Amino acid sequence: MPAPLALTLDLIARAHPDPVADDATALRLLTDAELLPGLERAVAGKPGRPDEIWVFAYGSLMWRPEFAVAERRIGTVRGFHRRFCLLQRRFRGTRERPGFVLALDRGGTCKGVAFRLAGDDPVAVLMPVWRREMRGNGYEARWLPVETAEGRVHALAFVVNRLGDRYAGRLAEAEIADRIAAACGHVGPSAEYLLRTVEACAALGIRDRHLSALQALVAERLRGCG
């Protein structure tokens, strides 16, 4: 049985007891009209079987997918790893105290969940997840091969936009933990996003050294807030 997590909801709540107001100016969100051409190009370039639409989840999509799922498989992407490298100045952070969310960055491997989406119209089926992930200009969408026990599938994955102003680069885990522990936006603390992802990975039997180290470091910093 794995050891209990150092990071807990109670610890997070005690460190961030007060709600945070939304600041819409901290991050401009693209409209559906602005998002649609990119989604249509992505659908037109989809490899694999035309009657299957897969999405690769490695962060919040694992625990809050927000789309109808026809099938799910544990799978591995090669050439990218899961990392807290995307700054969040809204939602789970502010301009003054930006948090982090996960993205796929170059190198290594990442184990996550491949979801096959239900529905016949790829654009309509993918728009909710496309809107959620792409409206903040933090990601690039790519079709990546995902190795699963049942065979390879090509899934839409959200890779960090290294040219964007939200890309933080490869910071030390101690610095990432400092920012995650301090950050809270109108949706909630950055540490809660980390905890939910760690819990989702544990439930799926996915081990991730980066997440495991960060939850312990963030818990240590939150305990010092009391």
Query: What number of other Cβ atoms are within 10 A of residue 52's Cβ?
Result: 15
Q: For residue 212, tell me if it sits in a domain.
A: yes
79 domain residue, yes or no: yes
Number of domains into which the chain is organized: 1
The DSSP-derived string for 35-90 is HHHHHHHHHHT--S-TT--EEEESSHHHH---S-EEEEEEEEEEEEEEEEEEEESS
Res 171: pLDDT? 96
Confirm whether 216 is domain-assigned: yes
Specify whether the CB–CB gap between 141 and 131 falls below 8 A.
no
Q: Report, as an integer, the average pLDDT of 121-132.
A: 94
Six token digits for residue 56:
């690769």
State residue 50's pLDDT score: 81
φ, ψ at 163 (rounded to 5°): -90, -5
Q: Is residue 21 part of a domain?
A: no
Residues whose CB is less than 8 angstroms from the CB of residue 21 and which lie 6 or more positions away in sequence, other chains included: 186
Out of 2-11, 19-28, 53-62, least confident range:
2-11
Q: What is the pLDDT of residue 66?
A: 82
Confidence check: pLDDT of 37 > 70 = yes
On whether residue 2 sits in a domain, the answer given is: no
Provide the pLDDT for residue 204. Answer: 96
Q: Which domain holds residue 133?
A: 9-15+27-223
Confidence at residue 20, expressed as pLDDT on a 0 to 100 scale? 97
What is the per-residue pLDDT across 153-186, written as a single tens digit (0 to 9) for each? 999 999 999 999 999 999 999 999 999 999 999 9
pLDDT of residue 1: 55
In the prediction, which pLDDT does 140 show? Answer: 98
Domain assignment present for 195: yes
The span from the CA of 83 to the CA of 86, in Å, is 8
0.85 cut: is pTM over it?
yes
Widest distance between CA atoms in the chain: 54
- Please report which confidence band the pLDDT of residue 49 belongs to, taking 50, 70 and 90 as the band edges: confident
Catalytic residue ranges:
133
From 76, 46, 52, select the one nearest 142 (Cα to Cα).
46
* pLDDT of res. 111: 98
Residue found under tokens 């992505």: 42
Q: 3 lies in a domain?
A: no
- Give residue 67's pLDDT: 87
For residue range 100-121, what is the model confidence (pLDDT) as tens digits?
999 999 999 999 999 999 988 9
Given a contact cutoff of 8 angstroms between Cβ atoms, the answer to whether 167 and 85 are in contact is: yes
The Cα–Cα gap between 75 and 57 comes to 9
**Does residue 226 carry a pLDDT above 60?**
no
CA distances from 137 to 23, 34, 58, 120, 163 (A): 17, 11, 18, 27, 10
- CATH code of the domain covering residue 31: 3.10.490.10
Confidence bin at 3 (pLDDT 50/70/90):
confident
- Domain membership flag for residue 141: yes
